[in-house]
Amino acid sequence: MSAATAAGTWKLGDLEVNRIGYDAMRLTGNGMMGNSDGTPIDRDAAVGLLHSAFEQGVNHIDTAAFYFSPLRSANELINRALSSWHGDVVVVTKVGPARDPSGEWITTARPDQLRSQVEENLRQLGRNYLDVVNLRASGPRTASIAEHFGALAELREAGLIRHLGLSAVLPEHVAEAQTIAPVVCVQNSYGLDWRRADESGLVDLCGEQGIAFVPFFAVSGLRREAAADQEQEQDARVQSVARAHDATPAQVRLAWTLHRGPHVLAIPGTANPVHLAQNIAAGSLRLTEEELAVLGEPVGPATSPRTHG
């Protein structure tokens, strides 16, 4: 049994995936808000890292056409890795946000512009259709997503997309989308220190409807794509549980999200092979009821950050 299978599986529509996946954002060396900018890893090293993830049982990857830096494109690296890999890997991408060639954020795509974003992902990934496309809303305050989601539903009917999902949404957005086409996953910021999706009932709603809930920034929380800071790593609650399992704080945070329900997936990203193995191994970490109680209530700011993840 590979390491990533320890946490079990879930289905994205008819696509069964191991609950531990991988977020490709860090491969580009460019953070969404500039707080993780740095030199990207070598292309061959990036492909090797992805192959290592696949060998350890990771069979779904999160990406986007807007995950790029001046030197790297996440989709290009995934394309290269998959072209020399013989196993099945589900690729989940997202559309809505847009960046110009210089990397500057521009206005979120209109419904009639989503086809070009889908086609851009198809070209970069070298695919005839996309496994899963998440509509990334402008933010939880978005009044309606019907027109945008309807445009993607038409592309699904046309065979360019296999399954549809949502990102950065509230329960009412899920209900609205479900009247248009099936939603197989919802991707929101969520973790031990940031539980807005619990407060809104979104995590439970997804479980009740058989929809995968996919947290991003589950390890770094409000630091987004940056690494967890010293204060997070020294959180006494997390440290006590980590010591009991001879685990890292990041592994405890990932295990906590996976304990939230069998429909909850994890997509930690890293460019470090050691951290990759640790993240995947978190799927086998079993927390006791007492330890879950120790982790207790969330800590940190009570206002929602603007995200592009």
285 within 8 A of 291, measured Cβ to Cβ: no
**Which residues are within 8 A (CB) of 138 and not within 5 positions of it... i.e. 6 or more apart?**
96, 108, 168
Q: Which tokens is 169 given?
A: 């949404």
Please report, as a single letter, which amino acid is at residue 79.
N
Look up residue 308 and give its two tokens: 């592009």
Query: Has 67 been annotated as catalytic?
Result: yes
Contact 72, 36 (CB under 8 A): no
Q: State which amino acid sits at residue 248.
A: T
Do 118 and 89 touch, CB atoms closer than 8 A? no
Residue type at 306 in one-letter notation: R
Q: Please compute Rg for the chain using Cα positions.
A: 18
Strand partners of residue 167: 136, 187
User: In sequence order, which residues have a C-beta less than 8 Å from that of residue 298 and are 6 or more positions away?
Assistant: 192, 193, 194, 195
* Catalytic one of 22, 67, 129, 190: 67
Q: What is the dihedral of CA 24, 81, 283, 295, to 10 degrees?
A: -10
Beta strand pairing status for 90-95 and 161-167?
A: unpaired
- DSSP notation for 68-119: B-SS-BHHHHHHHHHHT--S--EEEEEES-EE-TTS-EEPPPPGGGHHHHHH
Backbone conformation region of residue 305, classed left if phi is above 0, alpha if psi is from -120 to 50, else beta: beta
* Residues catalogued as catalytic: 67
